[in-house]
Structure 1
């Protein structure tokens, strides 16, 4: 099938980007060496639905090195980099995506990717799984399983499993320790502020950052905000996480109160309508709003448009809204993922671990799908620890191991044995 892309002539620029990240993803390189020898995906069709930038492109190459026929499709219209997609197509990987696709185009791209009739999938946010189950039921007998990248997608998978409609096994890669401890925390923390700062060119020190959500992503964003010199306010619905934020040194209050103080607002909840009309009207003149959750529903853009007197592009990826009271609010990247829609996403060294988890989890599903019933599965502990050890190995580091005596001590329970 012919690829659906913007411009193949952009391929050399995209190849430069891939060439930059590849040597910096040492764990994935070691996985690639294994795949080239074992060919675990030989004869399999794999569709990868992720943010299409250089690091994802290298994952696609690694999966293909394992013998798969690979097709890629975007999980977010604004994070697609047309030059990287062109580079993949030039290398023989089918692609269906372009930057700033309309909702209709985005859905068409998903359908075209699914026309390849995949055996296995890698998803980000659950759109691919949802599309298969709702509009392509004939593929349910063909698709044997896959892996999910992010919190939002895992939540959707659990909902589908709870309702008894999920028809194949999916690995919740997001829930692996080597994913959320590093990708969600350090990756999101750095890339969100990178996206904000490169887009606005404004100072962070001395300003107030309001962060909605104190999961692992929110913790990372708060940590980096503090390091940049900001006053940090956390908005949470979970009392345990709220206490954690308080003991981490941050202020905690409802959004209804925090809305008056923020210079930067970052939503990281995975839920809808976090910042609404009642919050917009009390915000400071010049407040910056952005989202780091998967879907563009956390900042209620429809309500912002409804109350605004005017709307204009103030700068690339910045939309200015003037409210009746005179204050101007600035929305970054249309409320989509600010770290990808207005930046390059997580650092290569962080995504190295996450994509190694994806590749190895996909291998696990390919080897065990006939033993797995439909449902959501955690990443195998051995895979999680393998990625961590490979990461240390890539850095030239080693750790201690238990002696037989120590193993026996930990396994004992009798007072005489302790």
Structure 2
């Protein structure tokens, strides 16, 4: 498809989307602008009917199939949550039957919202632990039942629908200069659609920066290798953007960028960003939805005085995950640590140990791991403090008293077993 045809198709997709919802707001955020010394706008894709941009691509794909006469067709999709909700919303809008395949690990909030959006039009099948398991199941169902498979990102019609975000941004900014766009990357549908629209629309293109979770850097890895690369394993915490391999079609568009254009967001820092936006701005974001905002920490020396648009990509957050988010943020900030230590089994030993704690140190976890020990007991200890600089002094006191300890805060295997 030529660039002019692509942009015309994006315009048609955006026009059709108005049957579902008005354009999402582009808001100048005073808090972030002041913090980073720039004009920072949030494109609020968390305010679509399904609280993510995914509805755009799913709707555009199905709209074209319906226009081609597939009024009685069955549809199916695979999704960790946001694409499923957009798919379900579109199925009910068009009055067609759909089946959604989701990982068993999908947050319950996303499963329930998919049911709400789809109503009687959609069935939900939970299968496997990862997206790839669902993708294989959905493709098998499609081939067996003759259902139309609606991909989450790797299709021209999906890319075209997601690109409508870029068109809205241009219309909303008017003549204001746009220096930089920061957007998340999972499968790459949004990133490729927006970059393609901006790069060849007839105006100076803004600089583009992309953000992936540090536990699932499929785009950056593919750029580094010069070819599509499947990651052997990923961290699924950022469930809306954690994919083992970026889509083939998006990658062809995006391979003109370099690895330095792709920023990685540490999961702990991302949790900080989520809490900051919730507590200061009252904006509820899922991990994937906060990726672009989180990247400001990596860009703070480059963006002063510039106009920056951040794509806020999703607000489907299950508040049952909030304790985990707080925990990760505390550990990332160095305000909470976990230890295994050996404590003498004698009267007064616990009192002596407690006297080693500083005035800002608080025991968050204390558990004997081996209660039958005669001379020494192994203890799982969690400590929170108000200042990360308190920990070096505390550990010096442990060593001075001859207390043997091991810091397991960042030992993922041991931490997963014990914490």
- TM-score, normalisation: structure 1: 0.30
Instruction: Look at both structures and tell me which one has the larger radius of gyration over its CA atoms.
Output: 2
User: Higher RCO, 1 or 2 (CA under 8 Å, sep at least 6)?
Assistant: 1
- TM-score, normalisation: structure 2: 0.30
